[in-house]
């Protein structure tokens, strides 16, 4: 079923969304300052081509450790991204989601656009993973008990 949904998504416009994200990544990479956003654009492009069966999660929660994009610099990068590109990309994905959700058949595609809208807002520090691998990872302990 996932293959059929991904195939329909790709044929009915997913390839356009993916190519637009690749274009945004290339433009970001050409400006040396935009390299952190280029990585995020390419990650979202991969997700835009085949969204079903994958999810976008925070790298620090998935890998269990922080890196450059999940700390303070990642937060600053996400704020800059949100101001210059994130909000209007999210609005465009939400508009597409609403138009697809009107039809019963378009509801899975609308949900994919909602996930893309959320990824468009703050993409730095995120990664695309298969939903199967999310079930295999043990839950990360959020708090440590300290004995006195």
**Ramachandran class of 136: left when φ > 0, alpha when ψ lies in -120 to 50, beta otherwise:** alpha
Residue 122 has pLDDT above 70, yes or no: yes
Spatial separation of the C-alpha atoms in residues 144 and 62, rounded to whole Å: 18
Residue 83 has pLDDT above 60, yes or no: yes
**Please, which residues bridge with residue 129 across strands?**
55
Q: Which two tokens stand for residue 62?
A: 């998935």
Q: pLDDT of 1-20, one tens digit each?
A: 889 888 988 887 778 888 88
**Where in the chain are the domains?**
2-127
Over residues 87-115, mean pLDDT: 86
Confidence band of 143 (pLDDT split at 50, 70, 90): very low
3-state SS of 35-68?
A: HHHHHHHHHHHHHHHCCCCEEEEEHHHHHCCCCC
Q: Count Cβ atoms below 10 Å from residue 112 Cβ, excluding itself.
A: 25
The predicted model scores a pTM of: 0.73
């Amino acid at each position: 079923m996932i293959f059929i949904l991904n195939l329909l998504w790709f044929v009915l416009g997913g390839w356009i969304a993916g190519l637009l994200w690749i274009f945004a990544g290339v433009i970001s990479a050409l400006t040396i300052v935009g390299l952190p956003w280029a990585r995020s654009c390419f990650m979202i492009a991969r997700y835009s081509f085949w969204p079903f069966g994958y999810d976008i999660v925070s790298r620090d929660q998935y890998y269990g450790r922080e890196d450059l994009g999940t700390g303070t610099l990642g937060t600053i990068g996400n704020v800059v991204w949100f101001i210059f590109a994130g909000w209007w990309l999210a609005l465009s994905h939400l508009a597409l989601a609403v138009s697809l959700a009107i039809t019963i058949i378009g509801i899975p595609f609308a949900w994919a656009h909602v996930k893309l809208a959320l990824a468009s807002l703050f993409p730095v520090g995120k990664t695309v993973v298969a939903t199967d691998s999310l079930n295999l990872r043990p839950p990360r302990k959020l708090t440590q008990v300290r004995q006195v």
